[in-house]
């Protein structure tokens, strides 16, 4: 009976399509344990990406599906997640304690990349992950304003900086280190050096994800940063219009050049929602993000509207995911975060840290 029921349950799980992993639960290797005791089934699933409230919803859906089987009287289903480090560019040093770095890039200014990066990081944290956020824009740091932080970073030891806590995130920005009104007058090599100091000399602790808000553009600075930061995956932000897509293509090509997998495309400002009447209009064109995703055979992670509330919450220092976590716009940010990290979870693991250090000594 138990073997037959196990096969029946496994067959049902193999037919359940999980939308974020975009495959069934068996093919995704999401089944951590399956126990059969008479007519009672105890199932534990591990999605491999932060799932938060969605994990509870999935557990309920799978439970109902299993209890619909004639042979099952009771099904106990729990859904959790575990984060494993994924491979980065060869020859680059990983940051101790940081499992995965995800770069958020736009290749063009003015497309809302920093706001997307902030809400992306906040959604991951709300779903249960330990998350850091690094503002890599030395010339125009945005994250201090987005996070509502006006304090300065403090030392955590010799040559070590303590990240600033904000909304459950560990954050770091050049804006925490210089006066707000002072311009950062630095040339390319100094910019790279400043970023590496914030990246490698910050006391991040144990993080599942470190989200890096890259500066716009694809010039020497951006390319150098992409070559020196141990990145597991990248997210490219664009708007639907052709001018933005031209630069977004350059961003995708840049990551291909440095062997960083592009997890997908985020289309920001997909539609405009009138604050007076609620009318929705594609003022920047339609389906540009999807065309770009299809062109490079990557995923469209999500679409976000041009909505006044996003700007208002960002300016207040409490982005949408914090200010309106149950709103439709926040749901879009959660979908983007889950889609991206689900794609990342299916990439190759980093086994470099598992290899022993071999020393050859002469007698």
**Distance between CA atoms of residues 26 and 15, nearest Å:** 8
Tell me how far apart the 2 most distant CA atoms of the chain are, in Å.
Answer: 83
Distant-in-sequence, close-in-space partners of 361: CB < 8 Å, separation ≥ 6: none
258 labeled part of a ligand binding site: no
331 labeled part of a ligand binding site: no
217 labeled part of a ligand binding site: no
Q: Is 248 helix (H, G, I), strand (E, B) or coil?
A: helix
Tell me how far the alpha carbon of residue 32 is from its chain's centroid: 23
109 labeled part of a ligand binding site: yes
112 labeled part of a ligand binding site: yes
- Other Cβ atoms closer than 10 A to 309: 15
Q: Is 167 helix (H, G, I), strand (E, B) or coil?
A: coil
276 labeled part of a ligand binding site: no
Q: Is 301 helix (H, G, I), strand (E, B) or coil?
A: strand
111 labeled part of a ligand binding site: yes
Distant-in-sequence, close-in-space partners of 72: CB < 8 Å, separation ≥ 6: 5, 9, 39, 40, 41, 66
55 labeled part of a ligand binding site: no
Burial 48-80 (b: 16+ CB within 10 A, else e): bbbbbebbeebbeebbebbeebeebeebebbbe
Residues comprising the binding site for ATP?
A: 107-114
Residues comprising the binding site?
A: 107-114
């Amino acid at each position: 009976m138990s073997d037959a029921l196990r096969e029946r349950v496994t067959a049902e799980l193999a037919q359940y399509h999980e939308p974020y992993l975009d495959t069934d639960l068996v093919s995704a290797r999401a089944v951590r344990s399956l126990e059969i005791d008479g007519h009672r089934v105890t199932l534990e699933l591990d999605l491999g990406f932060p799932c938060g409230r969605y994990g509870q919803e999935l557990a309920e859906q799978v439970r109902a599906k299993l209890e619909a089987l004639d042979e099952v009287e009771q099904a106990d289903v729990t859904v959790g997640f575990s984060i494993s480090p994924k491979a980065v560019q060869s020859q680059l040093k990983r940051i101790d304690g940081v499992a995965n770095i995800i770069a958020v890039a736009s290749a063009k200014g003015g497309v809302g990349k920093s706001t997307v990066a902030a809400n992306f990081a906040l959604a991951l944290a709300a779903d249960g992950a330990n998350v850091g956020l690094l503002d890599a824009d030395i010339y125009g740091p945005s994250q201090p304003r987005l996070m509502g932080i006006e304090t300065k970073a403090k030392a955590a030891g010799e040559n070590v900086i303590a990240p600033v806590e904000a909304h459950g995130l560990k954050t770091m920005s050049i804006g925490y280190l210089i006066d707000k009104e002072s311009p950062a007058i630095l040339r390319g090599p100094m910019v790279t050096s400043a970023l590496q100091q914030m990246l490698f000399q910050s006391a991040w602790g144990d993080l599942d994800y470190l989200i890096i808000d890259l500066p716009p553009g694809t010039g020497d600075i951006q390319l150098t940063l992409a070559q020196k930061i141990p990145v597991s995956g990248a997210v490219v932000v664009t708007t639907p219009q052709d001018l933005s897509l031209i630069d977004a293509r350059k961003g995708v090509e840049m990551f291909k050049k440095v062997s960083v997998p592009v997890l997908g495309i985020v289309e920001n400002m997909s539609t405009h929602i009138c604050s007076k009447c609620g009318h929705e209009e594609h003022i920047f064109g339609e389906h540009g993000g999807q065309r770009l995703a299809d062109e490079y055979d990557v995923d469209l992670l999500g679409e976000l509207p041009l909505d006044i509330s996003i700007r208002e919450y960002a300016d207040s220092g409490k982005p949408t995911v914090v200010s309106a976590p149950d709103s439709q716009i926040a749901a879009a940010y959660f979908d983007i975060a889950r889609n991206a990290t689900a794609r990342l979870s299916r990439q190759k693991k980093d086994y470099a840290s598992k290899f022993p250090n071999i020393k050859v000594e002469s007698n």
